[in-house]
Structure 1
Amino acid sequence: MMGQTRPLALIVEDEALLTLLTDGLLAAAGFDTIFAADETEAMAQTAAAGRIAVAVVNLHLGSDVAGQRVIRALRQHTPNLPVVVITGFDTDAPQADLRGLGWPTVRLQKPGDYDVLVPAALKVMEQARTGDAPEGWRRHTDYV
């Protein structure tokens, strides 16, 4: 891969085993990875790293539901940053509300959806690159 730059993925996860799982999957797919366990670390890593290709964000970090704040802050730094949200919350739970966070975003369910993490990351990266709207939007205004 001489001369080629590997895409950089930011993993925002407070559970060490899930961080290692996510890192292993992304690294095997050709990503470089950086990690953050909370909102403050995520912003520090983003500032230090420069161009992030995709962020993988757990909504529940420690005792706080900080994932939405992390996504908002990341997208202030990099508008339309591709984001893969990983959550144990049901899609209809108020804690899992992704409205107003922009796109491209895809939601995966813990713990079962890790097998589709890499395809999901590639999908949102492609959506960001092409500007193609995701299929099956629940609310068009969430992504405008």
Structure 2
Amino acid sequence: MQDSNMIGWARPLALIVEDDALLTLLADGLLAAEGFDTIFAAHETEAMVQAAVAGRIAVAVVDLSLDGDVAGQRVIRALRQHVPDLPVVVITGFDSDAPEANLRGLGWPTVRLHKPGGYDELIPAVLDVMEQARTGAWPKEWRRDTDYTY
């Protein structure tokens, strides 16, 4: 069997931004099993360096709280300055109503999972945001009635 990199095919690259080492390993294992290469960052600055060095990232998995700071939003904004339609899966322990969990103004496509249990849904969420980016189609449940054309 030939290595896929030998014939010019690249595996999709996922950036995992998480300061909990065990959760990073969990996400890495799940993504690797689905054919992703992964790179990691535990801090905001490290995420920006990894993204710059890596080149084209297929998806980012970002924890909103990094080292006690709500830095995940800044990471997402910075990543999307370079790739506006970057698929992002946000993983957070914050309740969806908490101000710290506010995802408004961070762009699209974005899916939110609640940690730690949300890791069970990581792969479907990653595939969903990547498909949204590929097709440009927002999930139907996000659309208002006025968004539909009849």
* TM-score, reference length from structure 1: 0.93
- State the SS of the aligned residue for 2:66: coil
Which AA in structure 1 matches 2:97?
Answer: D
1:55-66 equivalence runs, <5 A: 55-66=60-71
Partner in structure 2 of residue 7 of structure 1: 12
If you compute each CA radius of gyration, which structure gives the higher value, 1 or 2? Answer: 2
Whether the aligned pair in 2 keeps the contact of 1:56 and 1:85 (CA below 8 Å) is yes
Structure 2 residue corresponding to 1:113, chosen from 115, 118, 138: 118
Structure 2 Cα separation of the partners of residues 104 and 136 of structure 1: 14
Do residues 31 (structure 1) and 31 (structure 2) align?
Answer: no
May I ask how many residue pairs the two structures share in their alignment? 139
Partner in structure 1 of residue 105 of structure 2: 100
Q: Deviations over 1:3-25 (max 9, x none)?
A: 32110000000000000000000
1:137 CA displacement: 2.2
- State the SS of the aligned residue for 2:106: coil
Structure 2 residue corresponding to 1:136, chosen from 137, 141, 147: 141
Partner in structure 2 of residue 142 of structure 1: none
1:138 CA displacement: 7.8
Q: Deviations over 1:46-89 (max 9, x none)?
A: 10000000000000000201000000000001111000000000
* TM-score, reference length from structure 2: 0.89
Partner in structure 2 of residue 41 of structure 1: 46
Structure 1 Cα separation of the partners of residues 39 and 141 of structure 2: 31
Extract unaligned runs of 5+ from structure 2: 145-150
Structure 2 Cα separation of the partners of residues 68 and 75 of structure 1: 11
1:81-100 equivalence runs, <5 A: 81-100=86-105
Structure 2 Cα separation of the partners of residues 29 and 43 of structure 1: 24
Instruction: Give the % identical residues.
Output: 78
